[in-house]
Structure 1
Amino acid sequence: MKKFVLKKDESAKKRSDYSIKYEDLLNPQQAEAVFHEHGPALVVAGAGTGKTRTLVYRVARLVESGVDPSQILLLTFTRRAAQEMLDRASNILDERCRRVQGGTFHYYCSMLLHRYAEHIGFPDNFTIIDTADSLEVIQWVRNQLGFHKQNKRFPNKRTLQNIISTTINKYLDLRIVLEEYYPQFLDLEEQIEKIGIAYADYKEKNRVMDFDDLLLKTRDLLVKNEELRIKVASGNLHVMVDEYQDTNKLQAELTDLFCSVHKNIMAVGDDAQSIYSFRGADHRNIMDFPDRFEGTKLIKLEENYRSTNQILNIANNLLDQANYKFDKNLYSNKEDGDLPALVKTSSEHEQSDFISQLVLQLRENGSELNQIAILFRNGRDSYDLEVELNRKNIPFVKFGGQKFTEAAHIKDILAHIRVLVNPMDTIAWNRVLMLLDGIGPKTAEDLFEWIRISKSPYALDQSEAATKSYMDQLKALSILLTGIKKDDPAISEIVERIVEYYRDFCKKRYDDYPKRLKDLEAFVNISVNFASLPAMLEELALDPITATAVDTEQKQKEENPLILSTIHSAKGLEWNHVVLMQCLDGIIPSSYSVEDPESLDEELRLMYVATTRAKDMLYYTHPVLAQSVYGDYFTKPSRFLSELKEALVEEWQLVQEDEPEQLEGGNPPQISS
């Protein structure tokens, strides 16, 4: 066999040629990832090891090396995360970094589907329905098929949605999903299958897609059109995927397709933080990455910049207990801190009393309340604590509240915008028409059938289905919609007109309408930032705003509140002091997981995620007695804590104020009750 020797590209930059001194700003492992050139690479980034920093500098380094920014694809799990990374890269290098393709899988897939809509038989103005709208459609389909009239239990709309979504994201047959997750509904397989088919037909007919469709239809688009796959993948010289441990099977396949020409794929993530299997995330994606991509370069980030070594020692001990993992050992160059506390309380109420007094003492010692977090496995675990915090007048906020675009009054405004963008959107029309007095589901359906065939779908007062009882209301709606279509005003003016029209509906429907009107005013201001109505709908569906005035407005000015959060909601965040409460067998790990090694490993990863949120001090609490509907019962501390070596934690003894005993070897911690 003859060999032909390719000369080195003399124009390629050496590390010393770059304007940014990357190796002075990064540790050796981070620099190795930043300077990785070609082929697949997996960066296993332990908690707090500078994963985001590494990605930011990699983007800057690729752009500085001469790669066209538009040929770099950065996939993250929120658009905000991608935007922040590209902003940081631009500040490090220059504005070229803003031209990098960045966003979520759903956002990038949506862009591709709009661009190549004709290949899938959709118009390019199709709209995206969110989870709440999807539930409405499933309920409507269920009722249309007559499955609401059952003489025995039938899955509700949310369960049906979960079943349908699981079959798509986990590549499983309906029967397997029912056998594994919903065995109580196995005998209803045929009916559930009919609902799934009818739901898909409804979306197709009305030219709408849900979040699963964005992924599924993009996969099908690229698999069935070889020429198009090559065109799309050729434009992605470098693909980077953040939080790869949170991808599902469909997203893993899409990753393969996006990088299928150049093969320059870098996945970044932490197998030990894979905690979203209930959303379809597959821990095996990151574990199997080296097998999936031949010649993968494995890079481990292990230097932690967040926590003390005392906290990291526990994190490493937890990782040692896992069955399926990449071996890694977190360490820190921070100053040593105190040993994490293990606090046994007599009851759940004493646990709440301890935590609230601990918070007050930390506050007295100079800690800001918002730098203290109380974490728990389930939202219900904090109910008793919330009562105690209110009693002691400690302000707190609980993570996991309603998103701005999920609030009913905002969804009403968005429904009007959706019918302007896509007059075939039944779900939106149903919401718009049902606001009118006297119009029920049957009349709304009749009106929509007229809209479907009408040449002037917004002239509702001309419909044969219109009657005198609500004619004036239909005329007002028609004037609004036809006027907007005719005048083609700026986006913010369109929203302002709809809000003005909707104001009276809001006052009639909601007792707290003054707060909701503030949201609507804020929405008008927000709308200035969007280039078009389709862009607005797209971005708000794919990256919803989180807070509403209804949820967040305070009656008086208050200091920044204490943080209460589920572990799942806390991922990616950090606080100086972290309390993990209710550390009990049956809670963490969940009682549903103890018989399955994979599920038990995920529960262990939850404990690891909670542990690594703490920067300076960590507290585990567990009550000896717990309450249930059947009365009090004795508990067992979490098996994960039982495996900890004694030298890694310090047990705290709670002493009543009128009991002067001291701990052996010194004074008890200054927490009184």
Structure 2
Amino acid sequence: MKKLRLKKKVTLATREYSVDYKTSLNEEQLRAVMHDKGAALVLAGAGTGKTRTLVYRVSRLIEDGIDPRSILLLTFTRKASAEMLSRITSLLDTRAGKITTGTFHSFALKMLKQYYKQIGFSQEFSIIDQQDSADTIDLIRGRHLPPSIKKRFPKKNTLHKILSLSTNKRESTLTILEEYYPKFVEYEDQINTIFMDYHKYKKVANVMDYDDLLLYLLELLKENPDARKQITNMYKHIMVDEYQDTNRIQHEIILLLGGEENNIMAVGDDAQSIYSFRGADHQNIFFFPESFEKCEVYKIEQNYRSTEQILDLSNEIINGAAFKYEKKLFSRDRIGEKPYLVAANRERQQSEFVVQQILELREQGIELENIAVLFRSSYHAFDLEIDLNKSNIPYVKFGGMKFIETAHIKDLISYMRLLFNPKDVVAWQRVLMLVDGVGPATTRKIIDNISDNRLTISNYKDVLPTLNKNVGITNLFKLVAKNFDPTDITYAASELAFYYKEYMDEKYDNVNKRWRDIETFLQITDQYNDLPTFLNDMALDPPINSLDELEPESKEDEYLTISTIHSAKGLEWKVVFLIWATEGKFPSAKSTHTIDSVEEERRLFYVAVTRAKDYLYIIYPFGIFDRESGMVLSEPSRFIGEIGDEFLEKFILTEDEDDEGIDD
């Protein structure tokens, strides 16, 4: 027998609002927006208006007399914060500008800049990014390891990943090694020694890495009752977006920020938790209601993005999940075609079919910008990129190397960090290695002297007289010694760029391409008023992820999007092609050894199909070439194999002499 329950009907307060909440929101959204006091979890499915709900809730709080300065809205990207703030301001008025909004890391930075003394730093501490962190670990690694084990010992990026996972998951080094890198368990003691020296190194250099921001904020809240009380009194109403993506530290921080009233609203979707490789903990969204004595749970299931047929398939996929909140997405009036499941007889035929369909869709009036091709891993797109280029179809790719991670851009940022903090030994490590005639030994000698306060940019000739013979060193110290105005970032960036160009001309063959990148970099610096803000943004949340993500020069330019699913989260297109939906590729063969990893692959598949608004093509090759075995037969993804025939239109590709078609 079905269990019946009463659902309270939402009644607006008798007061008059300037915003018409009742007609602007559906019943589910309105219920969450009108939540009064205490903790609340809003389970908002894909395409259900999660952002709209958050925007209207902030507006409603302000209209009910809540001081906007006491509202904290935490997101996972700076872009999301800016969009929400803009929408709240448009909906209400300029009072919205007084709320605090930003990422967890930017909020942590703001708090630590206020309470720097309590954590043992000076206010001028700077932030190092992931690669600089790995380089510093490598420097320390070189000091500790005997030559006999260097080749077998984890490399710098692996060490950085171990430390980051240990920090964000709040687990010991040994636990991380056993779970992710069992072959390095024997080196646990040496690894821990390196990590301890790394933490000391940062403290002396007055720098923090990305993970430190959260770690020190958590430490501040736990160990300094006065600071915690001041912060919780400052922020009486807290909202957190994308709660399913939080890690263990972020979850602990939120619980500590609640204060006496626990006016915390977490918004998220357990079905879209796909970032465990970054330390995100899928369990946090399940633990949230249990962490408070009284926590209201609201579900938002009405979808405004996809057709009913696409939603039916999405619901079936996620229904197979072992751990989930029960939800069923639905659409009031969007009826369309069933998703297509297309079997290609070989790998290349898959990409040829996608290109053919894209050309046909464009002839039917569907613009390229309304079409996306999604895949599990970046290398799955290699054949596709070749065929797109052959057919002259312009495209942008998400999921490759980030613009901010390219060597020449990182070099420039390191120079700029030295202008702000001449004791930044991590930046010195990078720029010194660019000087002709300077190797690891000289670099280490200079850095050791800077760390011990024996060497400065003004006395280097006296402390290390041998450096006088190196023109490159002399020019570098002269550059850093220049008294640049920190508010004139445009001039400083231009001077550094032209200084660096001489090195670039000698180092790289593709100078013109790299110089175009630097010109783009200079355009970005033009948007900032001062150097510290720019450097913080570069470390916390770069304004662009890659050159491919820049706006086209002309709005009339048309381009197709091809993307990893991880990079496509939060986006939507009229037509979506999901390629390589093959067992062993999706789920990845590496992700089938534990229930948790298979479950995350299922959620990733769910995220992919819920990007489609009107048309969804799921494609897999049933013939795959293997180097040892030749052509082998493959099967569609297990996530498709579980689905009943009524949810998909199934086709097999056939080749004719004149054309290629699909047969059912």
Specify the TM-score bucket, using the shorter chain as the normaliser.
over 0.9
Pick one of 588, 591, 594 that aligns with 2:592: 594
Instruction: Give the SS at the match of 2:506.
Output: helix
Tell me, which stretches of 5 or more residues in structure 1 are unaligned?
1-11
State the distance in 2 between where 1:658 and 1:518 align.
45
Aligned residues of 1:438 and 1:470 also touching (Cα < 8 A): no
Partner of 1:220: 219
Q: 1:145 to 1:537 in 2, by over 3 A?
A: same
- 1:366 and 2:371 aligned: no
State the distance in 2 between where 1:135 and 1:591 align.
28
Q: 1:57 to 1:470 in 2, by over 3 A?
A: farther
State the distance in 2 between where 1:386 and 1:207 align.
45
**Distance apart, 1:255 and its partner CA:** 0.6
Q: 1:32 to 1:70 in 2, by over 3 A?
A: same
Q: What amino acid is the match of 2:62?
A: V
Within 5 Å, which residues of 2 pair with 1:395-414?
A: 395-414=394-413
Aligned residues of 1:71 and 1:236 also touching (Cα < 8 A): yes
**Distance apart, 1:497 and its partner CA:** 2.5
Q: More displaced, 529-538 or 588-597?
A: 588-597
State the distance in 1 between where 2:455 and 2:490 align.
24
Q: More displaced, 382-391 or 231-240?
A: 382-391
Within 5 Å, which residues of 2 pair with 1:181-196?
A: 181-196=180-195
**Distance apart, 1:640 and its partner CA:** 1.2
Partner of 1:6: none
Partner of 1:8: none
Q: 1:376 to 1:523 in 2, by over 3 A?
A: closer
> Deviation string for 1:264-308 (max 9, x for gaps)?
000000000001111111111001211112211111111101000
- 1:624 and 2:625 aligned: no
Instruction: Give the SS at the match of 1:654.
Output: strand
State the distance in 1 between where 2:395 and 2:423 align.
44
Partner of 2:101: 102
**Distance apart, 1:249 and its partner CA:** 0.7
Q: What amino acid is the match of 1:296?
A: C
**TM-score, length-normalised on structure 1?**
0.92
- 1:202 and 2:172 aligned: no
Q: What amino acid is the match of 2:605?
A: M
- 1:84 and 2:86 aligned: no
Q: 1:169 to 1:266 in 2, by over 3 A?
A: same
**Distance apart, 1:488 and its partner CA:** 5.9
Q: 1:149 to 1:60 in 2, by over 3 A?
A: farther
Partner of 1:613: 611
Within 5 Å, which residues of 2 pair with 1:386-425?
A: 386-425=385-424
State the distance in 1 between where 2:70 and 2:429 align.
42
Partner of 2:54: 55
Within 5 Å, which residues of 2 pair with 1:323-472?
A: 323-452=322-451, 457-459=456-458, 462-467=461-466, 470-472=469-471
**Distance apart, 1:661 and its partner CA:** 12
Q: 1:521 to 1:661 in 2, by over 3 A?
A: closer
State the distance in 2 between where 1:231 and 1:415 align.
35
Aligned residues of 1:461 and 1:471 also touching (Cα < 8 A): no
**TM-score, length-normalised on structure 2?**
0.93
Aligned residues of 2:126 and 2:206 also touching (Cα < 8 A): yes
Partner of 1:529: 527
- 1:291 and 2:296 aligned: no
State the distance in 2 between where 1:17 and 1:614 align.
39
**Distance apart, 1:398 and its partner CA:** 1.6
State the distance in 1 between where 2:137 and 2:363 align.
52
State the distance in 2 between where 1:437 and 1:662 align.
60
Partner of 1:141: 140
Partner of 1:116: 115
State the distance in 1 between where 2:167 and 2:62 align.
36
Aligned residues of 1:133 and 1:427 also touching (Cα < 8 A): yes
**Distance apart, 1:13 and its partner CA:** 8.9
Q: 1:308 to 1:357 in 2, by over 3 A?
A: same
Q: More displaced, 279-288 or 196-205?
A: 196-205
- 1:506 and 2:493 aligned: no
Aligned residues of 1:125 and 1:534 also touching (Cα < 8 A): no
State the distance in 1 between where 2:579 and 2:452 align.
59
**Distance apart, 1:139 and its partner CA:** 1.2
Aligned residues of 1:405 and 1:545 also touching (Cα < 8 A): no
State the Cα RMSD in Å. Answer: 2.6
State the distance in 1 between where 2:335 and 2:253 align.
44
Q: What amino acid is the match of 2:501?
A: R
Partner of 1:320: 319
| Percent of residue pairs identical | 44
Q: More displaced, 468-477 or 354-363?
A: 468-477
State the distance in 2 between where 1:661 and 1:183 align.
48
Instruction: Give the SS at the match of 2:438.
Output: coil
Instruction: Give the SS at the match of 1:43.
Output: strand
Partner of 1:234: 233
Q: More displaced, 651-660 or 107-116?
A: 651-660
Q: 1:661 to 1:179 in 2, by over 3 A?
A: closer
State the distance in 1 between where 2:448 and 2:178 align.
39
Partner of 1:170: 169
State the distance in 2 between where 1:151 and 1:499 align.
37
Instruction: Give the SS at the match of 1:331.
Output: coil
State the distance in 1 between where 2:465 and 2:551 align.
41
State the distance in 2 between where 1:318 and 1:91 align.
37
Aligned length in residues: 653
Q: 1:275 to 1:453 in 2, by over 3 A?
A: closer
Instruction: Give the SS at the match of 1:49.
Output: coil
**Distance apart, 1:490 and its partner CA:** 2.0
Q: What amino acid is the match of 2:507?
A: R
Partner of 1:566: 564
**Distance apart, 1:629 and its partner CA:** 3.0
Instruction: Give the SS at the match of 1:588.
Output: coil
Q: 1:636 to 1:453 in 2, by over 3 A?
A: closer
Q: What amino acid is the match of 2:420?
A: V
**Distance apart, 1:471 and its partner CA:** 4.4
Q: More displaced, 61-70 or 261-270?
A: 61-70
Aligned residues of 2:537 and 2:543 also touching (Cα < 8 A): no
State the distance in 1 between where 2:602 and 2:548 align.
36
**Distance apart, 1:454 and its partner CA:** 5.5
State the distance in 2 between where 1:157 and 1:362 align.
47
State the distance in 1 between where 2:244 and 2:407 align.
34
Instruction: Give the SS at the match of 1:318.
Output: helix
Q: More displaced, 194-203 or 223-232?
A: 194-203
State the distance in 1 between where 2:166 and 2:116 align.
24
